[in-house]
RNA sequence: GUGACCGUAGCUCAGGCGGUUAGAGCGCCAGGUUGUGGCCCUGGAGGUCGGGGGUUCAAGUCCCCUCGGUCACCCCA
């Protein structure tokens, strides 16, 4: 236990054969398969960017004042550059879009990703220092159909995984002009009540007042009921695009609730904002979040805004939700067959036979080292092998193998030349 | 970063007010069946009681520090 090395705080190994779905590799593979399939169906192209990015990209992209940038980044210096382990993927994707001049390609860009991210937070349920996100972005248009499409592909992933008990909430944050006007009104309303605010909200009042809207403090929620409404301040374009989005979602029969208190924690969001929540996964209940971020590109150096909308989703939270919703999750894969050999000569022949069966496409296992038949049979059973192929001197002399069906217990003698065909036939 | 709870075999846990060889179930290995799994029976291996310090004749048990885990705050996917 001690003396050996351990995974560092808030990180974990994903393994085969564990009882815990959250770290069971078969569950991850299944979820990833579904994500790739759904994204592919919707015409999104995969993009993989480095785990390491320039610190400046993330700091300017997400905003210096956000908690993620100001206290949750893993950064290090080497030479005269500062590197960061990416805390999210939207800024890196926009960086790639600009770097590879994707705006020069015809039409809009539909991109999706899956990969690890890092945040130096205190771990708890649904929150880890290395965690995994998947997401999709549509870059190059402010058409509200893009907002609807991003939500549609997101919902399709959960739908395909049969996770149907998540709730979608949407809101609009207004554009670059209307948001500051609202911000001003909110500050004006809250300032006389400064005394009633929590310490955290008081600090936000000057730094990022919109974040006060999603407070959990009861007294503040009551106070906010009388606050100016964001919806009353937003510009015509944002309002029209928000109405269009709602109409599209209704037509697509994607159910949602409007939540005027919904705000996002990163600076780059404007207009559409949305979040998908699941009630069964603890305090970190957001499965996915997203929205429009037309201002990200100029924040990281582009000469003009690039209209874009997307979502990001947590893989760990998705798996926790699937577990909470009692969906059946993949276990270790069974074996088609298992080789059992007795003695050194047969052990060598069985090993060669094993390889030819594998070449035929069968999933076949075998213990190495010379153990008793009983021990080998037990291993075959544990591996949930459908059939066992027994080979010893007796069989080899006659050029046959004894094949045992592990469900019925039935045993047959099969000529080696017909072994593969025979195994395949009985599997079907 | 703050707080609460928890660290005893590979896993899940038991160990009344400190008392001398630290236990169980499951798992693992072997045997019962000179070539046959799942059930059953028998035996075996496996533990510096997270680490360090202290109190005491005596510490898994009490105290302090430390590391790790879990959950919550905060934050966010």
d(CA A68, CA A339): 53
The separation, in Å, between residue A3 CA and nucleotide B58 C1' comes to: 29
Predicted local distance difference test score (pLDDT) of residue A1? 40
Coil, helix or strand at residue A376: helix
Half-sphere CA count of A57, side-chain side, radius 13 A = 23
Specify the nucleotide whose C1' lies closest to residue A264 (CA). B76
What is the distance in angstroms measured between the alpha-carbon CA of A6 and the sugar C1' of B64?
26
Q: Which tokens is A93 given?
A: 């994707």
pLDDT of residue A3: 59
Give dist(CA A422, CA A403) in Å, integer. 9
- Tell me the pLDDT tens digit for each residue of A217-252: 778 888 888 888 888 888 999 999 999 999 999 999
Q: Taking a C-beta distance cutoff of 8 angstroms, is the pair A284, A254 a contact?
A: no
> What pLDDT sits at residue A191?
87
Q: What is the pLDDT of residue A273?
A: 95
Rg of chain A in Å (alpha carbons): 28
Q: Is the dihedral of CA A130, A136, A140, A143 positive or negative?
A: negative
pLDDT score, position A99: 97
Residues of chain A with pLDDT under 50: 1-2
Distance A407 CA to B39 C1' (A): 15
CA–CA gap between residue A157 and residue A166 (Å, rounded): 12
Locate A212 and state its tokens: 């006060």
Q: Which nucleotides of B are covered by protein (CB under 7 A)?
A: 1-3, 9-10, 28-31, 33, 35-38, 48, 50-51, 68-77
In chain A, the domains with their CATH numbers are 21-177+235-324 (3.30.930.10), 184-226 (no CATH), 337-427 (3.40.50.800)
Long-range contacts of A244-249 (CB under 8 A, 24+ apart): A244/A144, A244/A145, A245/A144, A245/A147, A245/A148, A245/A170, A245/A272, A246/A170, A248/A144, A248/A145, A248/A147, A248/A148, A249/A148, A249/A151, A249/A170
């Amino acid at each position: 236990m001690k003396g050996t090395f351990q995974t560092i705080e808030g990180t974990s190994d994903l393994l085969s054969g564990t009882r815990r779905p959250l770290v069971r590799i078969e569950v991850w593979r299944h979820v990833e398969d579904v994500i790739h399939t759904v994204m592919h169906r919707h015409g999104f192209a995969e993009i993989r960017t480095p785990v390491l990015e320039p610190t400046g990209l993330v700091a300017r992209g997400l905003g210096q004042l956000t908690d993620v940038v100001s206290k949750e980044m893993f950064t290090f210096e080497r030479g005269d550059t500062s590197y960061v382990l990416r805390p999210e993927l939207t800024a890196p994707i926009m960086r790639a879009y600009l770097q590879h001049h994707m705006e020069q390609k015809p039409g809009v860009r539909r991109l999706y990703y899956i990969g690890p991210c890092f945040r130096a937070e205190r771990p708890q349920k649904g929150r880890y220092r290395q965690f995994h996100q998947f997401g999709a972005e549509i870059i190059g248009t402010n058409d509200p159909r893009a907002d609807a499409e991003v939500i549609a592909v997101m919902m399709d992933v959960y739908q395909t995984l049969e996770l149907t008990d998540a709730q979608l909430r949407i809101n609009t944050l207004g554009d670059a002009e209307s948001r500051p006007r609202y911000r001003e009104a909110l500050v004006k309303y809250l300032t006389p009540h400064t005394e009633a605010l929590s310490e955290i909200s008081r600090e936000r009042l000057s730094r990022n007042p919109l974040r006060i809207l999603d407070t959990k403090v009861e007294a503040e929620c009551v106070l906010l009921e009388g606050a100016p409404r964001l919806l009353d301040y937003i510009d015509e374009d944002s309002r029209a695009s928000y109405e269009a989005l709602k109409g599209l979602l209704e037509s697509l029969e994607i159910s949602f609730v409007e939540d005027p208190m919904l705000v996002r924690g990163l600076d780059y969001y404007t207009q559409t904002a949305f979040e998908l929540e699941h009630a069964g996964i603890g305090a970190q209940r957001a499965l996915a979040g997203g929205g429009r971020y037309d201002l990200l590109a100029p924040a990281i150096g582009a000469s003009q805004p690039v209209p874009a909308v997307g979502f990001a989703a947590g893989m760990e939270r998705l798996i926790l939700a699937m577990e909470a919703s009692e969906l059946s999750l993949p276990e270790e894969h069974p074996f088609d067959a298992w080789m059992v050999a007795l003695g050194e000569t047969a052990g060598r022949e069985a090993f060669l036979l094993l390889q030819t069966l594998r070449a035929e496409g069968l999933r076949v296992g075998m213990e190495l080292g010379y153990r008793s038949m009983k021990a080998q049979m037990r291993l075959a059973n544990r591996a949930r092998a459908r059939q066992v192929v027994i080979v010893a001197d007796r069989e080899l002399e006659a050029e046959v193998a004894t094949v045992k069906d592990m469900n019925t217990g039935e045993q047959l003698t099969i000529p080696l030349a017909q072994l593969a065909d025979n195994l395949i036939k009985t599997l079907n």
